[in-house]
Structure 1
């Protein structure tokens, strides 16, 4: 697994549910010396700057001073993380969601690396401030293939599965975790009831914000979670399930991480994302595609054994291969 022993990398990414450190762990598992830079370092601007912010807000109608100071202080802490080690020049830098990081930090990362790449795994227009960041990078990858038409030299890439975690013994039949979305909640209810009637042991977990006016009519089937499940624990749960459930987010045009987790863990997948049919790993014995919100044939799908894919498919969508493609190694 130590294919990249002797190489160094900085990974800067949103630390949503511990995602950044999931990257770090897998990078270290394949040999990289790794520094992780979170987007969400807590900072305080101090009493003096708080007073200045209030004065500017009252007398000049300027409301951005506090935000700008937080960015300044956070950037300093992020740069301190880079400089605290003994490495003066890193082999690689990878930035996930570069719109979350300051130009000052990106300039520092550029000066500290031989190759610097980015991956915007949300659509460019969803966070348009990312456009001004593209020029910092040697290679810039996008999740949504349609985004390649919006600016030159953008490279499409899929998601991947973290390959340092292995599948475990199944303890449940079907697993889902996700946020409440009005446009897909009825489908989740219908699927849960269908699977339950077919005798499946379910773990259906739904995160609901306090602002969502939602009552759970299926509390026996669906668990409302008030604390997020960490990214790593979510992967462990997926690895212990026979089937992973995936619902597409309409703001995205691509395949979610869950699709690739099902490949890596060699699990079955139930999804409503029709894009899966376009990929080389699509096998109707392994992937049940919900079309027109119908479940015709799902009982047979559940009972048919998982079919192993060619070994090159598992390698193609692994994190290790994804890193090689990102940096053209």
Structure 2
């Protein structure tokens, strides 16, 4: 009989689809997928719209949220228990849902895809889970999380690059730095481009130029590699207070592209090679021409394999952290002292 797995994640640019396919392709689990923010509700009529406005104003309740919660509960309750529960962004769930998940899970996993300093409310979800993963090494050290880097899921995108350097992302506080780097690279005679997304039409009108373009909508995560394959070098601008690596370095590894990054922590990774990766600092004025003209240096197969989606899935779903209590002959899954439940399994003697 297949193991039952509950996978809960937000619908952020179809990223969940990549993980879901990984669970389906690389495990033998029967996966129940639940979107923590993806169940929209359409008002039946104008009266219901007005009623919801009144409820939000006077009672701080929302018909749309009630509907979403109901759908999530129905999906979670397909089975009385699950062998494994994996939750991406548990901070998006209510405490009631977190408690329900804890009761249903034989083994539960929380994955924090952004640093605690960037997204508030994540630390408070820790007691509901058996194990916690993060790509941010500082958070792992400070909060006792298990470090797991990101991965790549597409290899060798064959195309003739249109750009020498490309940055693909959203408009935010990093814009000044992005603009500066793009300008400096173009002053070097390189065809450097930034493709950004912003809902604000005024921002798009103000900052659009020959080398900075704005997108009408965010590119779904599974489609990003097609754009990354259209450049010789990928540009990565990390967020402040972020020690972990974004997906771009791993994307570059999968596509066998060189990388220019502002994240100095990349030096600590086993795939770092200065022939493939240039670290841009506050004092950088230009990138050596040799970085553009020398060929990509192949990464050892064992290291590349380490960062595949398949290996990531296996490392997430097969980790064993059982503790043994010799006085009771019990193996158990450790939890925080404020845990909401502890699963225990009695093993036969002899």
TM value normalised by structure 2: 0.77
CA distances 1:105-126 after superposition (whole Å, capped 9, x unpaired)? 3334334443210111222244
Q: Distance in 2 between matches of 1:118 and 1:308?
A: 34
Q: 1:38 to 1:277 in 2, by over 3 A?
A: same
CA distances 1:294-326 after superposition (whole Å, capped 9, x unpaired)? 244432101111111112211222222223333
Q: Distance in 2 between matches of 1:56 and 1:202?
A: 47
Are 1:159 and 2:150 matched, yes or no?
yes
Q: Distance in 1 between matches of 2:287 and 2:75?
A: 53
Q: Distance in 2 between matches of 1:187 and 1:132?
A: 33
* Corresponding residue to 1:98 among 76, 85, 90: 90
* Corresponding residue to 2:10 among 9, 14, 17: 14
What's the secondary structure of 1:269's corresponding residue?
strand
What's the secondary structure of 2:209's corresponding residue?
coil
* Corresponding residue to 2:246 among 252, 256, 261: 256
Higher Cα Rg: structure 1 or 2? 2
CA distances 1:66-106 after superposition (whole Å, capped 9, x unpaired)? 3xx5444322201323445xx66443221111000123333
Q: 1:199 to 1:89 in 2, by over 3 A?
A: farther
Q: 1:185 to 1:65 in 2, by over 3 A?
A: closer
Which residue is 1:224 aligned to? 214
CA distances 1:25-59 after superposition (whole Å, capped 9, x unpaired)? 2322324443322122223688679648737845x
Q: How many residues align?
A: 313
Which residue is 1:168 aligned to? 157
Which residue is 1:143 aligned to? 135
> Residue 157 of structure 2 contacts residue 225 of structure 2 at CA under 8 Å; is this kept in 1?
no
Q: Distance in 1 between matches of 2:119 and 2:284?
A: 34
User: Pairwise mapping of residues 244-283 of structure 1 onto structure 2 (< 5 A)?
Assistant: 244-283=234-273
Q: Distance in 2 between matches of 1:127 and 1:296?
A: 34
Are 1:35 and 2:68 matched, yes or no?
no
User: Pairwise mapping of residues 155-234 of structure 1 onto structure 2 (< 5 A)?
Assistant: 155-162=146-153, 165-172=154-161, 173-182=164-173, 184-196=174-186, 200-210=190-200, 213=203, 219-234=209-224
What's the secondary structure of 2:33's corresponding residue?
strand
Q: 1:301 to 1:20 in 2, by over 3 A?
A: same
Which residue is 2:331 aligned to? none
Are 1:74 and 2:65 matched, yes or no?
no
What's the secondary structure of 2:106's corresponding residue?
strand
Q: 1:156 deviation in Å?
A: 2.8
Q: Distance in 1 between matches of 2:43 and 2:94?
A: 17
> Residue 12 of structure 1 contacts residue 39 of structure 1 at CA under 8 Å; is this kept in 2?
yes
Unaligned runs of 5+ in 2: 321-350
Q: 1:168 to 1:49 in 2, by over 3 A?
A: closer
Q: 1:123 to 1:235 in 2, by over 3 A?
A: same
RMSD: 3.0
Q: Distance in 2 between matches of 1:215 and 1:132?
A: 40
Bigger mean CA deviation after superposition, 252-261 or 189-198 = 189-198
What's the secondary structure of 2:31's corresponding residue?
strand
Q: Distance in 2 between matches of 1:130 and 1:189?
A: 32
Unaligned runs of 5+ in 1: none
